[in-house]
Amino acid sequence: MGALQFIVEGGHTLSGTIRPSGNKNAALPIVAASLLTDQPVVLENVPRIRDVETLVELVRSVGAQAEWVARNTLHIHAKEVRAAGLDPDLCRKIRASILLAAPLLARCGRIELPPPGGDVIGRRRVDTHFLALERLGVDFELEDKFLLSTSGMRGADVFLDEPSVTATENAITAAVAATGSTIIRNAACEPHVQDLCHFLIALGAEIEGIGTNKVTIQGGRSLHGATHTIGPDHIEVGSFIGLAAVTKSEIRIQDAGVEHLRSTLMGFARLGISCMIDGNDLVVPAEQERRIQSDLGGHVPKLEDQPWPAFPADTMSIALVAATQCEGMIMIHEKMFESRLFFVDKLIGMGAKIVLCDPHRAIVAGPSRLRAAEVESPDIRAGMAMLIAALAAEGESIINNVSQIERGYERIDERLRALGARVERVEDRRTK
């Protein structure tokens, strides 16, 4: 099948229960870290999405066995691993290819890494990865690809120059294989970083400080196999909160990982969107105030993303769409990426009242009546935001380039149809 589109008939109320997939950003580093051990690893609740499938192909290309034994269960056995040249085309598809650096250095002592790809959402530096690995005893040079080698990684006191999630994951994985003690300071501590740490402990690693910005690893331990279940994706949960709010629907989000939702719930509450915690589930009621909460003194409020545990950057696009359906005015401040807000021109074309101040800030006034349109999905999160906007809009919308959405959301059209959404996945009629 060629390029794909979603045909979306908006304006319908949804209802029912939906379960978030496993966290994509946990699955990727955990799949990569499975190469650390020569014993079998079983991973459960793995999202069956393009980014994960691409990384599985890369894992196979270095000699590891990787087999889907059920829809969302992956068996990996890296009995033998070789420092084979990684396929540049596969590496260009996903930024997560860089996560293979640490485990392949641990097993083979060297790796040739083509430049990683991923979403086009502004400059995403990789310097932090290599500076951290260098502290742990890795030599590197840059030609048309990254050439990394080590005669043996050793523990060190590592200060990351930014709390990069993937750099933290690479550093932790390398430190587990390194000889001696490592302290990683200014570490990222998102739920997916925590999940990686719990997986490594299941393999036999010794890690302290999980969930904080100072992580201590006693490296060089003998590692064995393990079975590990990937935790729920808190970004999907945020997406479903936004979906329920803009379609004025009651949706139950099952096994939502509520312990990781404090900042997400606080951010949506600022928009006048509240949720109820019911055990492990999150319920978004149909009846919502949807009134943006002004700052003290009546000043225009701001919703901004920051490193964890603040409001997640990947939920900003969803929050922006939700804000278009709420009463009042708010500034959306996307601090992390330069180009992530550029999709708002598509929302403006659908009738949203938004002023893009600069690459990082947009002022949203609502509520606005959205109308159907033909739009393009520029990246995973903006694509999901456009899908949510289309479900709130009047009429039939067409969303092109849906492969971007499917890089991050498993079978999203099927799962939304189960809630009553009218979404059809078809071959792009423009390519016929």
SS3 97: helix
Per-residue pLDDT tens over the stretch 375-405: 988 888 999 999 999 999 999 999 999 998 9
Contact 228, 200 (CB under 8 A): no
**What CATH number is given to the structural domain containing 65?**
3.65.10.10
Q: In this structure, is the dihedral angle defined by the CA atoms of residues 343, 348, 354 and 359, taken in order, positive or negative?
A: positive
Copy the structure tokens of residue 377: 């999905």
Per-residue pLDDT tens over the stretch 78-134: 999 987 778 888 888 787 788 999 999 999 999 888 877 544 333 345 788 889 999
Contact 239, 315 (CB under 8 A): yes
Same domain, 289 and 341: yes
DSSP 88: H
Question: Which residues on neighbouring strands pair with residue 365, listed in sequence order?
Answer: 329, 353
ω into residue 40 within 30 of 0, thus cis?
no
Counting the structural domains of the chain, the total is 2
3-class SS shares of the chain: helix, strand, coil, % to 5: 35, 25, 40
Residue in 391, 355, 396 with CA at minimum distance from that of residue 373: 396
**The pLDDT of residue 120:** 38
Same domain, 184 and 298: no
Residue in 187, 183, 175 with CA at minimum distance from that of residue 219: 175
Per-residue pLDDT tens over the stretch 213-271: 999 999 999 999 999 999 999 999 999 999 999 999 999 999 999 999 999 999 999 99
Q: What percent of the chain has pLDDT over 90?
A: 80
Per-residue pLDDT tens over the stretch 299-311: 999 999 999 999 9
Q: What percent of the chain has pLDDT over 70?
A: 96
**The pLDDT of residue 117:** 59
Q: Work out the average pLDDT over 168-188.
A: 97
DSSP 265: H
Residue ending a domain, among 187, 213, 229, is 229
Residue ending a domain, among 214, 229, 244, is 229
**The pLDDT of residue 431:** 57
Same domain, 295 and 238: yes
DSSP 210: T
Same domain, 205 and 86: yes
The amino acid that residue 306 corresponds to is Q
Q: Work out the average pLDDT over 157-167.
A: 94
Contact 416, 9 (CB under 8 A): no
Q: What residue numbers bound the domain in which 289 lies?
A: 4-21+232-431
Residue ending a domain, among 209, 229, 249, is 229
**The pLDDT of residue 2:** 64
Same domain, 155 and 245: no
**The pLDDT of residue 97:** 84
List active site positions.
119
Same domain, 221 and 289: no
Lookup result for tokens 């600069």 = 358
Copy the structure tokens of residue 351: 């009738």
Measured CA distances, 172 to 226, 251, 352 (Å): 18, 37, 43
Same domain, 194 and 286: no
**The pLDDT of residue 339:** 78
Same domain, 373 and 329: yes
Half-sphere exposure of 277 (CA within 13 A, CB side): 11
**The pLDDT of residue 107:** 95
- Say how many C-beta atoms besides its own lie within 10 A of residue 75's C-beta: 16
Same domain, 127 and 183: yes
